[in-house]
A and B are shown apart, each in its own frame.
Chain A
């Protein structure tokens, strides 16, 4: 191990936005030895989906990408079907996929090549860390092609194979996502279904699943029958371990997740952030309304989660059902700004206030947290939400924004500005490849706590400019 044993130790300075300690060098940018983001992997990873059509490959690809992006790993999905649609323009019928269709084979091979090229570009030019290659990849030949490509470039490869022979699940899949595909725009349901089943047959003839013996040197997870069984081989690093854990926790059982904030609190009314106050009168009314709402929904086996803060617990108490307190669901810690109004923050810490507007996701309160920190602390909550079925989460504004961003695939830039008003329940129901959202206002008035990003985020801005978007309060 070679390194300099220099006797001088660099002075440290704390970056104003992230509040990370870094060595300070007078003029030039010093190469930072310390990384403040956990190093998930040192080389880009290609996740290669494997499986017959209608086995959930795209579902898994999109969900996995959404999760990885949320935890801060830049991930993109490369869906071969889309490349094919662009190349061929009009889809006639299943005959395109016949293994003896030379013309089509050529086109499909080209598409795969193009996708791999784009993956390379994603890694080198767009700081991508993980690429999900969403295609059937059912032949050893095709997988060999991908492995050579990856080996040449120094990328890691992890296969995710979905194996399913339950005809009900397959039909369900086809109904949910295939019939509405651009391929079947002008067909009626029966035609589409019939054609798709023939398409699957085309692939079956040449399908070679990952083999325990022959593929023992590859890294992969084989998922059987939507998760009742898994075979995991040669997990190489942290990110692959996290991917396996995630895939083993997700399910497709229909359910709904209800997200809501606590009822209006005393500090809310005063326009003060953070703290641990109780509910205002209107907040208590909301709690009762929430109880009525939950009852009216007739939700099977509903689990109720709160934070450790008084206002969420008071809200849950009104429901009259057991609930679980999670410290991880506590509101963002505003550190030195706890219980201040925005006006006071502008008054005492104008620079901090401006920095926060410049990058609200990464900005960390002095002696407090950032949205980025919160995402890390909420990850176990998300993992457990994936495992569970019907859950009502009673939490806080910043927390709810983070959870919502996960379910609705919102970027780090959008996340801190998502609208999560008081006294409004968001009902999330997984459907097809995404999430249906219903917003239900429970008809109890509350103060607005949403502060938009003001036009002027400059450190030297005037006070009026800084406070332009502060919502009204007592």
Chain B
């Protein structure tokens, strides 16, 4: 669609360009009229699709559909695409209250079928609400969707509402993988709260059987007009059909890079730096003696952990590299892991920022995620620049990432599914390693303080974020420094 300006004379394209003003928070140039910014501005957001997308999971129980749904949702939200998953099993649990046994899922159980159908429709209703009224861009419909009939219903629903549909089918016949799934996530399900392990496994296997007879996998011939990815054997092989747009392309790329091999990701900051102790942000200083001590402790810690094939990544700033050097192992420098660029505020103390740029300081407290330093970056910018790092972390196995406060907050927010509001305030203290281990549908976090004292660099959001606040209130939460 193209919006052309009104031509009051008949001269082609003789319109005077609109005046531009720079939005004070995000430092985005936008046209304004009569002193007010005009809405008609488009900023590069990841999801350049003009209509919402419905991702439809397909597959027998215990094929990883919910695992994929949750992970994909987490990733899309992190990169800025509002996404929500809708798990039909949950709707069923709300409707039924008590799960007796697998008989509910028997294909000849009329009553059961009716309830299940109602649940699916109820979920689709909520999908419509989310995508049309609540600003959602992607909805993940997590259910077995194993029959062509069910999928046709969903496709028709999507067409009526102007949603694009993308199917994600998980096919797996490896009994070990299925058994592992059941142990990891089914036994802990509310459905089996009062059963012992054997009973639960036996019942669940019968449940799978109920679906098997009516399962119609996506078919290369019959379904050639649909857009989908078929994931076979936990990622050994993929069939990708008719990717329609950018977001589907990104989803496919992501799904093809994730794996379930057990591993741990270690996140930590560089050792305490000279600028840290002086309360100054940014810069490219070296480690203090305590920082060097931390680097040594980190070396010991890594050795003790006995990690298989550990990869070590740093930024290109001196302090992370000095830290890695102490480990005496090969490491890779990523420019993308550099600390947030504070632009004109580089190497300033918070007190100085308040003194020279009180407006900026207040704006930052008002919306720390979107706030961009003048001639610098925002957390939002950081997330975009860190996306390739996350993608590679997904591909890798055991990795130690030695980075910086803002960077670590962004990475942590991805793994722990933290919102844009929480992200800039996550606690990532110096000299503390966070060990993240994927488990079930999420991530286990262990925090290990390596027993070397360091200055605190965490500044909480102060109560008063008003532009005209007095200096003491602005500086209320600044941590102590030299």
Stretch at the interface among B84-92, B158-166, B314-322: B314-322
CA distance A284 to B395 in the complex (A): 47
Contact A317 B239, beta carbon cutoff 8 Å: no
CA distance A318 to B19 in the complex (A): 10
Contact B20 A317, beta carbon cutoff 8 Å: yes
Contact B249 A295, beta carbon cutoff 8 Å: no
Contact B17 A233, beta carbon cutoff 8 Å: no
Instruction: Give chain A residues whose Cβ lies under 8 Å from the Cβ of B216.
Output: none
Contact B256 A228, beta carbon cutoff 8 Å: no
Instruction: Give chain A residues whose Cβ lies under 8 Å from the Cβ of B1.
Output: 322
Contact A1 B329, beta carbon cutoff 8 Å: yes
Q: Is A321 positioned at the interface, with any CB of B under 8 Å from its CB?
A: yes
Tell me which residues from 209 to 251 in chain B have a Cβ below 8 Å from any Cβ of chain A. Answer: 220, 224, 236-243, 246, 249
Tell me which residues from 321 to 366 in chain B have a Cβ below 8 Å from any Cβ of chain A. Answer: 321-322, 324-336, 346
Contact A228 B17, beta carbon cutoff 8 Å: no
Instruction: Give chain B residues whose Cβ lies under 8 Å from the Cβ of A387.
Output: 246, 249
Closest to B374 in A: A276
- A12 and B321 in contact, given A1-B329, A310-B22 (Cβ under 8 angstroms): yes
A308 to chain B, nearest CB (A): 7
Contact B318 A325, beta carbon cutoff 8 Å: no
Stretch at the interface among B37-45, B119-127, B453-461, B470-478: B37-45
1/0 per position for A1-40, CB-CB distance to B under 8 A? 1011111011010100001110100000000011110110
1/0 per position for B99-122, CB-CB distance to A under 8 A? 000000000000000000000000
Contact A248 B249, beta carbon cutoff 8 Å: yes
B245 to chain A, nearest CB (A): 8
Instruction: Give chain A residues whose Cβ lies under 8 Å from the Cβ of B327.
Output: 3
Stretch at the interface among B7-15, B149-157, B182-190, B424-432: B7-15
Q: Is A417 positioned at the interface, with any CB of B under 8 Å from its CB?
A: no
CA distance A36 to B337 in the complex (A): 12
Residue tally, chain A, CB below 8 Å to B:
69
Instruction: Give chain A residues whose Cβ lies under 8 Å from the Cβ of B239.
Output: 229-232
Instruction: Give chain B residues whose Cβ lies under 8 Å from the Cβ of A244.
Output: 256
Contact A232 B256, beta carbon cutoff 8 Å: yes
Contact B326 A245, beta carbon cutoff 8 Å: no
Instruction: Give chain A residues whose Cβ lies under 8 Å from the Cβ of B237.
Output: 212, 216, 231-234
Residue tally, chain B, CB below 8 Å to A:
74
Contact A39 B310, beta carbon cutoff 8 Å: no
Q: Is B3 positioned at the interface, with any CB of A under 8 Å from its CB?
A: yes
Contact B238 A232, beta carbon cutoff 8 Å: yes
Instruction: Give chain B residues whose Cβ lies under 8 Å from the Cβ of A204.
Output: none
Q: Is A177 positioned at the interface, with any CB of B under 8 Å from its CB?
A: no
Q: Is B286 positioned at the interface, with any CB of A under 8 Å from its CB?
A: yes
Closest to B238 in A: A232
A310 to chain B, nearest CB (A): 5
Partner of A241, one of B4, B256, B381: B256
Instruction: Give chain B residues whose Cβ lies under 8 Å from the Cβ of A4.
Output: 328
Q: Is A373 positioned at the interface, with any CB of B under 8 Å from its CB?
A: yes
Contact A295 B13, beta carbon cutoff 8 Å: yes
Contact B42 A1, beta carbon cutoff 8 Å: no
Contact B3 A325, beta carbon cutoff 8 Å: no
Instruction: Give chain A residues whose Cβ lies under 8 Å from the Cβ of B34.
Output: none
Partner of A325, one of B42, B220, B375: B42
Tell me which residues from 215 to 247 in chain A have a Cβ below 8 Å from any Cβ of chain B. Answer: 216, 228-235, 238, 241, 244-245
Instruction: Give chain A residues whose Cβ lies under 8 Å from the Cβ of B252.
Output: 248
- A9 and B295 in contact, given A33-B329, A228-B241, A234-B237 (Cβ under 8 angstroms): yes
A residues in contact (CB < 8 Å) with B: 1, 3-7, 9-10, 12, 14, 19-21, 23, 33-36, 38-39, 212, 216, 228-235, 238, 241, 244-245, 248-249, 276, 278, 284, 287-288, 291-292, 295, 302, 305, 308-310, 313-314, 317-318, 320-328, 338, 367, 373, 376-377, 384, 387
Counting from the closest, the 10 A-B pairs by CB-CB distance are: A317-B17, A232-B238, A3-B328, A230-B240, A326-B44, A36-B333, A320-B5, A318-B17, A291-B13, A21-B321
A-B contact pairs, 26 of them (CB 8 A): A19-B316, A20-B333, A33-B324, A33-B331, A34-B314, A34-B333, A35-B330, A35-B332, A35-B333, A38-B332, A38-B334, A39-B332, A228-B241, A229-B239, A229-B242, A230-B238, A230-B239, A232-B256, A235-B256, A238-B395, A241-B256, A291-B13, A320-B4, A321-B3, A373-B335, A384-B48
